[in-house]
Structure 1
């Protein structure tokens, strides 16, 4: 400790790295912080049992007498329990923008890459002009106006945007608090949608394949004339039949690697990083699925994915051609829904259906006990479903898809 003088402060050398503190012996709590590029006067004391250091100002901007007077004021405030640093942090937090809230929420939450991209795309699409807006400027009235604009374009997109916005806002509200942890942001303005019951009720789709004869007939005659994507029709046949016989989600099947397939054990595995619920799933394969994999192996054995060097892409044109042959607008998820519907018709135990679909058991403790991770307990169920599809195909069911 030394008594600070104007000359002494001017002669202090900057540091090569880090910082050092020079405390004034004549005025307790007052000193100079020396860094690599500048020097600044500081005041330091304890506030509610914690050390608090406040920057008074740079030494080239303030005279020593001015700095001493300001330090006295700062130390008196700290003696009264006022923490300037905490106030500054709170003020900066109050100025948080929607864009900062989105990035903060996405960075802190453990989202899969695809999920995070979907959330970011939603916020960019629906709230791009709000990214630099402070959260406190977004009022319920402002949000309601934007909600009606989104509803005119797409109800499903509006519902997703509301849910994503609320998640970002609630993260920011938990992040932006005072010293006692009290929220500094108001309730999410999107709550006005719920309070006024403006959100459309989600209608669960009921479409599924009920005419398997037509389904396979269309697959057999499907042809594409693409010079760019050779074998697109055969890849499509294999892919869509795999969805039908396994109930996999499109993304799960599209990203299957040969390392996920055990032909000897007759199982396939959806790894945790690609499963929607984050839980790995090993499934037994029916005899028909094994034959399908053997056909795939003849085409892509030795490559990373079942479909070649890359995951299965977006077969939009092939799907459109297939729909024309079918006579109805089949979606990939309809096959998963069909799989579950068949399992129900066969009176397969609900806990087994949930395992086959890799659905979480939620709050049901009983269902949690009933779910076995041994793939062999599901083998007969998988075979029954696949046999049912073939039986329907032979019976030439003539009903159209629902």
Structure 2
């Protein structure tokens, strides 16, 4: 998802900064503004901008300054595309001198076009059903309204758009199949893609439950994501941020013990978690990311032991866990997350960046390290990738068995 960063957002943040009385929250807003204006050309956005705004929001919420809190909340929604620019201009005095004339002209044109289109639809319906009642005309328009989100632009007709009747009903069925039978991160978007693709829709219709086709879609997505993640991890120049970005949409890689990532990464004052994973019961697992090109073992008195970088990562994770334990009641009350006795995973290193040490030796040294830890586990990125690869292999074999009994054709 692209993060929007423009003049409207900058003005909103400037207004929040000027209205903020708390110095810490104001400094966090300044950090977000500084990030926006640090690009070589244009305003800089990205996920980091949202994280900076979220940090400012967390601080502002403690001051109970509702005007600042509301601006920051709306700013985050606007940056992530959940609010429209015109809504922001209406709610806040951003461009008050030009807003009225421009918006009235735009809305007038849109309303005229909409009314004209609706009139033509009603006329066509009444020509086909001359005895139709008013309720039947309204229901016809309502069904058309439901199909509008699934409009597409056919490649064979450049500049034209196609609205196919009945897509909304098909999408509702597909959404139910997606939601009930397999985990898909964005169910609505997946349904929209299927319902606007005739070949995919035909294959899904041929499969009584839609299960095989949908499993194939999800496996294809996971294979692609794992390939991309492996490339990032095996790149010696990749930073922790690069790895985090590649992992963001691939949380399945941590196994079926987790249901997703917590929305907030700053759960306690002063600490921002890399990846806060949630179990089905609402308990927490902290994933701490380190660089993949770090050396993880060294020779010490005739034995292989973990390096200082590994110990530093473990200590950082333990500090997070300690803070979460101490603030358990506040975290439960504010975020509905049980942080008491949470555990942590430290991801660091890859055997390819330590070619002078056999991979088995690296793994054995870390197993010895982990045997003496109770709440923190250290893994190399290769161990994580290999486990995900084995999981996908089993899923592929299951899919092949299922596809032999399904009438659908998976390509």
TM category, shorter: under 0.3
Between the two structures, name the one with larger relative contact order (CA 8 Å, sep ≥ 6). 1
Q: Larger % of helix: which?
A: 2
Give TM-score scaled by structure 2 length: 0.22
Structure 1 or 2, whichever has the larger Rg, is 1
